[in-house]
Amino acid sequence: MGLFDNIKGLGKKKKETTVNVPQQNSIMQPPTETQQNTQSFDSKFIDGVNQRISAVENEVSKLNVSMETAKRNISEIKEELEKVKENVKMVVSLYEMVSKKFNPFMDVTPEEIKEVTDVLRENIHDLERMVQYAIDDLKELYGAPDLDDMISDVEHQEDTNDQ
């Protein structure tokens, strides 16, 4: 059942073993009430500890399953984010090509192209921020630890220790 099963079994063996000690009286004395209480307390304590260990083992296995599910979800989100980034890059490239060559209403001066690309770049950054917020929200929902904060804390402590 748990970690202390062997200890409990050993305790029983000790109770059952007898040592041949020469006694003056041939009459065996029954164990006193305090000895019986101590033995029952020990076995109850060991049973309680075994039950608690089993409960903790069950909780750890459940947490393992939850953590694996969260890792899978995060990796899927990362893959989807990479696909979105690639699609955005392709759309921006296509837009620039079309606007430069085929748009009769757009003047093709470098300054205007720069302004358009700057606006698109800002839109992409806004999109990246929104995706990062969504990832942060998912981390909060699934209770996943924020690895970036942990890494920055460790780096900050190392910097502090170096000084």
The predicted-structure confidence for 132-156, as pLDDT tens digits, reads as follows 888 888 777 877 766 777 778 888 8
Question: Tens digit of pLDDT for each residue in 70-113?
Answer: 999 999 999 999 999 999 988 888 887 777 666 556 555 677 77
Question: CB under 8 Å to 69, separation ≥6 — which residues?
Answer: 142
Cα 24 to Cα 48: distance, rounded to the nearest angstrom: 41
pLDDT band, very low/low/confident/very high, at 130 (cuts 50, 70, 90): very high
pLDDT for position 61 = 93
Please determine, for residue 7, whether its predicted confidence score (pLDDT) is greater than 90: no
In this structure, are residues 46 and 7 in contact, taking their beta carbons and an 8 Å threshold?
A: yes
Q: Mean per-residue pLDDT for 99-128?
A: 76
Please determine, for residue 22, whether its predicted confidence score (pLDDT) is greater than 70: no
What's the whole-model pTM score? 0.34
Question: Tens digit of pLDDT for each residue in 8-19?
Answer: 444 444 444 444
Q: Which DSSP string corresponds to the chain? A: --TTHHHHHHHHHHHH-------S-SSPPPPPHHHHHHHHHHHHHHHHHHHHHHHHHHHHHHHHHHHHHHHHHHHHHHHHHHHHHHHHHHHHHHHHHHHHHT-TTS---HHHHHHHHHHHHHHHHHHHHHHHHHHHHHHHHHT---HHHHHHHHHHHHHHHH-
pLDDT for position 102 = 60
> Could you give the C-alpha distances from 114 to 97, 111, 117, 120, 153, in angstroms and in order?
13, 5, 5, 10, 39
pLDDT for position 105 = 60
Please determine, for residue 33, whether its predicted confidence score (pLDDT) is greater than 80: no
